[in-house]
Amino acid sequence: MEAKKSFTELINSDTPTLVDFYADWCGPCKMMAPVIDQLANEMTGKVKVLKVDVDRNQKAATAYKIQGVPTFILFKKGKIVWQQAGGVPIHTLKNIIQQHS
């Protein structure tokens, strides 16, 4: 079993890391949840997927200036390579991840 890694360790990875900033009360977040789960399953080994609840992790939300949920940020080696608020189709997410793999 892999040791628990910190948020910073995960986003500093050579493997792209998609962070889904969401909230439990957010309707669009609930609609995106199965899309993100499918993406994680289909792209195992090509992307790491993290879900961050903005209500429970306000420091992270503030640090990345999250103003609306859902907001998706793709990190590669600790740098933001893509960011978008709102729903995103799975094919768009796959294309963006492949561009940064």
Q: What is the DSSP string of the chain?
A: -PPP--HHHHHTSSS-EEEEEE-TT-HHHHHHHHHHHHHHHHTTTT-EEEEEETTT-HHHHHHTT--SSSEEEEEETTEEEEEEES---HHHHHHHHHHT-
Is 60 within 8 Å of 52 (Cβ atoms)? yes
The C-alpha atoms of residue 11 and residue 97 are separated, in whole angstroms, by: 14
Rounded CA Rg of the chain: 13
The model carries a pTM of 0.93
Q: Residue range 80-95: average pLDDT?
A: 97
The dotted CATH code for 16-99 is 3.40.30.10
Give the mean pLDDT of the chain. 93
From 11, 23, 29, 66, the catalytic residue: 29
Determine whether 66 is an active site residue: no
Domain extent listing, the chain: 16-99
Determine whether 29 is an active site residue: yes
* Residue 74 Cα to chain centre, angstroms: 6
- State residue 18's pLDDT score: 97
Per residue in 14-40, pLDDT tens? 999 999 999 999 999 999 999 999 999
From 11, 19, 23, 26, the catalytic residue: 26
- State residue 101's pLDDT score: 86
Per residue in 47-58, pLDDT tens? 999 999 999 999
